[in-house]
């Protein structure tokens, strides 16, 4: 069963009329509609006004109906006298000595429900005044709080959109606007808002002691902090702190000594004071996922920091340590000593690679006692600098070669080689002379010893393998020695013949 409640208010369009001609005095009727205590917000309903003689159940003098819409507060407004006339004429009201009663009925979809009747006095119906002289007995309406009073008359309570629960007030339907008549949110403030955090704070989260965040100030409003607490706890922990001087702390820190501090403040030896991460015993910044990580950390020692990367899927672990006077890269690289750069690793060295092809060269100090410097191209051994005398020893292992045949005669071509004296055009500030061969000339005789560069930066440049020239020279010496041996044999034979002739 529907239990409909109206809280109504009647207001005049005109209070004093001095015309001698009869005129109808329309008046406003406002009411809040509740169904079983629940506001009927934004609903369309039917309202019927009936004016009766002498009592709430007396003869009908006038009846009209209205179709109205409630707002978000359940409030509707109707003008009695502007509705759809069902019976009688509003113009004849008030001309007799009858006492008039206003009956209100509401239909929310299940038929008319009587909301009661109340006597119409001089307010709001004043049609009788149309036939009387002005006796200067005007009355005054006044509003105090939620009470509407008329001088020398009664007081009625004006319905409020607020509900109360003990000392608390609440509004359970619609939005509230401050300095705006069209709020877009539950609370919409158009303009400035001030919260005195010395008396309170702003809390966000779940009620009933749930997960919550708190925003408040410290230092008489100088600093702003954000705190949080988990469900069931009453203790808030500081998470972010913004100091008035511009410094920011992330973590439980209320006195950041730099522009950005993550964690607690560091020691005085931190080399880059603009941003600090960590504590007095060292700091660390780390990023990555379950497969790859990179971190940067500092020790408590002045001027030292270290960058570490790690991969559990085969990339290995690398480490970079930066100091005031040097940089070390590697696994447990240690101190760079007097060097500006030190690279240290147990199995691999420095690698230079081409991004477009992944072709690379690696330089690695060997584990041999002489500490040779080995070179690798695309992972394959290509040679070594001897750690004792510095000599270059290119790879020449039989296991690295195929299609091995004896070198043909070279003597005739060696005789065509022209050694030259020349000067280099570039990077020769002292204009020094050099001796050697012209690569293009050698290419015509021994193309195996000449390399033509295909890289776009030096495309077409010719390079000569002077180490290979020693092979050619040795081969020529061998051929020359063979000729010498042959000539020696011939000479010995001729000498024997001469001796025979002399006998």
CA separation for the pair 80, 91 (Å, rounded): 12
Q: Is 472 helix (H, G, I), strand (E, B) or coil?
A: helix
How many other CB atoms are there within 10 angstroms of residue 5's CB atom?
16
Structure tokens given for 24: 């109808």
Structure tokens given for 225: 């902090």
The residue ranges of DSSP E strands in 314-404, in sequence order, are 316-322, 327-330, 341-344, 350-353, 360-365, 373-377, 380-385, 392-394
Name the nearest CA neighbour of 11 among 125, 95, 89, 93: 125
Structure tokens given for 207: 């009620």
Torsion (CA) 444, 449, 455, 456 in degrees, nearest 10:
-30
Confidence at residue 13, expressed as pLDDT on a 0 to 100 scale: 36
Confidence at residue 198, expressed as pLDDT on a 0 to 100 scale: 67
Q: Name residue 427's beta-bridge partners.
A: none
Contact 336, 326 (CB under 8 A): yes
How many helical (H) and strand (E) elements, i.e. helices and strands, does the chain have? 3, 38
Q: Is 361 helix (H, G, I), strand (E, B) or coil?
A: strand
300 CA to centre of own chain: 32
User: What letter does residue 78 receive in the DSSP assignment?
Assistant: E
Which residues touch 60 (CB under 8 Å, ≥6 apart)?
A: 50, 51, 52, 87, 88
187 phi and psi angles, rounded to 5 deg: -135, 120
Contact 173, 74 (CB under 8 A): yes
Whole-prediction pTM value?
0.40
Contact 276, 270 (CB under 8 A): yes
Confidence at residue 126, expressed as pLDDT on a 0 to 100 scale: 45
Q: H-type helices in 81-228, by residue range?
A: none
Contact 422, 436 (CB under 8 A): yes
Contact 157, 147 (CB under 8 A): yes
CB burial of residue 293 (10 Å; 0-12, 13-18, 19+): middle
Confidence at residue 129, expressed as pLDDT on a 0 to 100 scale: 45
Contact 190, 179 (CB under 8 A): yes
Q: Is 495 helix (H, G, I), strand (E, B) or coil?
A: helix
Q: Name residue 222's beta-bridge partners.
A: none
Q: Name residue 169's beta-bridge partners.
A: 164
Name the nearest CA neighbour of 379 among 360, 357, 394: 360
Each residue's pLDDT, cut to its tens digit, for the chain (503 residues) gives: 455 556 544 443 333 333 333 444 678 899 888 887 788 899 999 999 999 998 888 999 999 999 999 998 889 999 998 999 999 888 777 666 678 899 999 998 889 999 888 888 654 444 444 444 455 566 777 777 667 777 777 777 776 667 777 777 766 777 888 888 888 888 888 888 887 766 568 888 988 889 999 888 887 888 999 999 999 998 999 999 999 999 998 888 888 887 888 777 655 444 444 455 555 555 565 555 655 555 666 655 545 555 555 554 444 455 555 544 556 666 665 666 666 777 777 777 788 888 788 889 888 888 776 788 888 888 888 888 888 888 888 888 999 889 999 999 999 999 999 999 999 999 999 999 999 999 999 999 999 999 998 887 888 999 999 999 999 999 999 999 999 999 999 998 999 888 888 87
Confidence at residue 21, expressed as pLDDT on a 0 to 100 scale: 36
Which residues touch 403 (CB under 8 Å, ≥6 apart)?
A: none
126 CA to centre of own chain: 68
Name the nearest CA neighbour of 184 among 192, 193, 174: 174
CA separation for the pair 150, 130 (Å, rounded): 21
Domains of the chain in start order, with CATH, are: 4-161 (2.60.40.10), 194-256 (no CATH), 411-489 (no CATH)
User: What letter does residue 429 receive in the DSSP assignment?
Assistant: T
Helix, strand, coil percentages (3-state) for the chain, rounded to 5, are 10, 40, 50
Structure tokens given for 34: 């509740």
Q: Which residue has the tokens 């020094």?
A: 432
Confidence at residue 128, expressed as pLDDT on a 0 to 100 scale: 46
């Amino acid at each position: 069963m529907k239990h409909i409640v109206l809280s109504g208010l009647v207001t005049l369009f005109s209070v004093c009329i001095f015309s001698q001609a009869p005129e109808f005095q329309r008046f406003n009727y406002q009411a809040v509609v509740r169904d079983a205590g629940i506001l009927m917000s934004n609903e369309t309903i039917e309202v019927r006004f009936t004016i009766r003689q002498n009592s709430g159940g007396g003869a009908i003098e006038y009846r009209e109906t209205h179709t109205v819409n409630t707002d978000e507060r359940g409030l509707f407004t109707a003008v009695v006298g502007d509705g759809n006339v069902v019976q009688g004429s509003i113009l004849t009201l008030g001309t007799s000595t009858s006492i008039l009663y206003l009956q209100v009925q509401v239909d929310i979809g299940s038929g008319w429900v009587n909301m009661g009747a109340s006597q119409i006095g001089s307010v709001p119906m004043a049609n009788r005044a149309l036939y009387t002289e002005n006796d200067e007995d005007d009355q005054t309406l006044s509003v105090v709080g939620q009470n509407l009073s008329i001088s020398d008359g009664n007081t009625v309570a004006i319905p409020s959109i607020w509900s109360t629960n003990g000392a608390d007030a609440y509004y359970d339907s619609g939005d509230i606007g401050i300095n705006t008549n069209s709020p877009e949110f539950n609370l919409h403030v158009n303009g400035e808002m001030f919260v005195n955090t010395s008396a309170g704070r702003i809390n966000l989260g779940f009620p009933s002691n749930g997960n919550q965040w708190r925003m408040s100030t410290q230092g008489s409003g100088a600093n702003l902090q954000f705190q949080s607490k988990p469900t069931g706890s009453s203790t808030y922990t500081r998470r972010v702190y913004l100091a008035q001087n511009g410094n920011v702390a992330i973590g439980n820190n209320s006195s950041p000594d730099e522009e950005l501090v993550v964690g607690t403040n560091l020691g005085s030896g931190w080399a880059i004071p603009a941003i600090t991460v960590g504590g007095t015993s060292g700091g660390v910044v780390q990023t990555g996922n379950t497969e790859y990580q990179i971190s940067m950390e500092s020790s408590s020692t002045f001027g030292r920091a270290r960058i570490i990367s790690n991969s559990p899927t085969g990339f290995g672990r690398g480490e970079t340590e930066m100091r005031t006077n040097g940089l070390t890269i590697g696994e447990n690289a240690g101190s760079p000593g007097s060097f500006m750069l030190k690279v240290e690793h147990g199995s691999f060295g420095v690698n230079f690679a081409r991004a477009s092809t992944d072709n690379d060269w690696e330089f690695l100090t060997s584990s041999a006692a002489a500490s040779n410097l080995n070179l690798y191209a695309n992972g394959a051994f290509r040679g070594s600098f001897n750690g004792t005398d510095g000599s270059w020893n290119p790879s020449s292992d039989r296991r690295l070669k195929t299609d091995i045949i004896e070198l043909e005669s070279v003597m005739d071509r060696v005789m065509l080689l022209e050694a030259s004296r020349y000067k280099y055009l570039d990077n020769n500030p002292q204009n020094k002379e050099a001796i050697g061969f012209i690569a293009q000339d050698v290419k015509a005789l021994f193309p195996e010893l000449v390399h033509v560069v295909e890289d776009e930066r030096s495309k077409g440049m010719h390079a000569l393998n002077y180490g290979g020239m020693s092979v050619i020279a040795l081969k020529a010496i061998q051929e020359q020695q063979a000729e010498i041996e042959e000539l020696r044999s011939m000479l010995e034979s001729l000498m024997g013949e001469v001796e025979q002739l002399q006998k």
